[in-house]
Amino acid sequence: MNDFRGRVLKEKIKDLFAEVVKMLVEMGYVSLDIQYIDGIKMEAKSKKYTDTILEK
């Protein structure tokens, strides 16, 4: 199943994302003039619990 997702769906998801972005641009919801990259790093709660379990 994972192999199927990796080979087949990866390209399909890229194509679908591109089509959605094109549609949003045509409808005026987004603009491609300026692009931003979100560099926020957040700690997952599961990480906190993993560290305490490994220390015991």
Residues for the chain: how many in total? Answer: 56
Q: Is residue 53 very low, low, confident or very high in pLDDT (cuts 50, 70, 90)?
A: low
Q: Is residue 26 very low, low, confident or very high in pLDDT (cuts 50, 70, 90)?
A: very high
Q: Is residue 50 very low, low, confident or very high in pLDDT (cuts 50, 70, 90)?
A: low
User: CB–CB of 30/24 below 8 Å?
Assistant: yes
Predicted model pTM:
0.52
Q: What are the residue ranges of helices labelled H in 1-44?
A: 2-4, 10-27
Residue matched to tokens 């560099």: 39
